[in-house]
Amino acid sequence: MNPTMIPIPSAWILYLSAVLFVIGAIGVLLRRNGISIFLALELMLNSANLAFASFAFRFAGQGGHAASAINGQIFIFFIIAVAAAEAAVGLALFIAMYRRKETIDVDRFNILRW
């Protein structure tokens, strides 16, 4: 720990995380274009990452839990890896969908229903 630096409250990061999460959620729920939805989804994932980062230090800062700092970052690392995999599959899906209907407007893919 470097005592010369002025600490910022971990809650601030969490507030930022919450705001980004809401923006991402609105994007997911309101957009119709598949790729736009995906972008908003990435934003939501990153807001979660921020929360993890905040908690990693929150609990490591109490002393005795040095491993918490590492574990929090490991979580973010895995989320990034999974997000990359998800992006690859998702984009491939949109290509396949586009081939079929010449569009990726998800409202037009609704035949799997009652």
Partner 1 sequence: MLGSLWIIPLLPLTGFVLNLLLGWLKARKSVVNVVGIGSVGLATIATYWAIIDYLGQPAKVVVEHYFTWISAGKITVNAAFQFDPLTVVMVAFVTFVGFLIHVYSIGYMHGESDTSYARFFAYLNLFMFSMLILVFGSSLPLMFVGWEGVGLCSYLLIGFYFDDEYCAASGKKAFIANRVGDVGFLLGIFATFAIFGSADFTTFLPAAAAHPQQYAGWATAIGLLLFVGAVGKSAQIPLYVWLPDAMAGPTPVSALIHAATMVTAGVYMVVRCNVIYRIGPAALLVVAIVGGITALYAATIGMAQNDIKKVLAYSTISQLGYMFLGAGVGAFSAAIFHVVTHAFFKALLFLGAGSVIHACSGNQDMRTMGGLKKIMPTTYWTFMAATLAISGIFPFAGFFSKDEILGKTFAAGASNLNGFGWVYYILWFLGIAAAFITAFYMFRLVYMTFHGEFRGTEEEKHHLHESPWTMTLPLQVLGVLSIVGGLIGIPKLMTGHASWNLIEHFLDPVVIPLGGGHAGEMAAEISHHAVSPGVEWLLLLISLSIAISGILVARSFYYGERAFEKPRQFAERYPLLYKLVLNKYYVDEIYGAVVIQPLYRIFRFCWKAIDAVIIDGILVNGSAFMTELTGDILRFLQTGNVRNYALSVAMGVLLLIVILW
Partner 2 sequence: MVTYVFLAAAALAIVFGILAIAHRSPIINVLSLVVVFFAMAAIYAVLGMDFLAAIQLIVYAGAVLVLFLFVIMLLNIRSVDRLGSGRRLQAVLGVVISIAIGVAAVLAIATLTPANGAVAPGSGQGTAFPIGRSLMTTHLLPFELVSLLLVAALVGALVLARKETR
Q: Which residues bind partner 1 (CB under 8 A)?
A: 25, 28-29, 32, 106-107, 109-114
- Residue 45: which residues within 8 A CB-CB, separation 6 or more? 24, 79, 83
Q: How far apart are the C-alpha atoms of 55 and 22, rounded to whole Å?
A: 19
Report the nearest approach of partner 1 to the CB of residue 7 (Å): 28
Question: First vs last Cα of the chain: how many Å apart?
Answer: 59
Report the nearest approach of partner 2 to the CB of residue 97 (Å): 9
Report the nearest approach of partner 2 to the CB of residue 16 (Å): 5
Residues 55-94 that bind partner 2 (CB under 8 A): 56-58, 60-62, 66, 69-71, 73-74, 76-78, 80-89, 91-94
Residues 20-49 that bind partner 2 (CB under 8 A): 20-27, 29-33, 35-36, 38-40, 42-43, 46, 49
Report the nearest approach of partner 1 to the CB of residue 26 (Å): 10
User: What does the DSSP assignment read for 77-97?
Assistant: HHHHHHHHHHHHHHHHHHHHH
- Residue 31: which residues within 8 A CB-CB, separation 6 or more? 37, 40
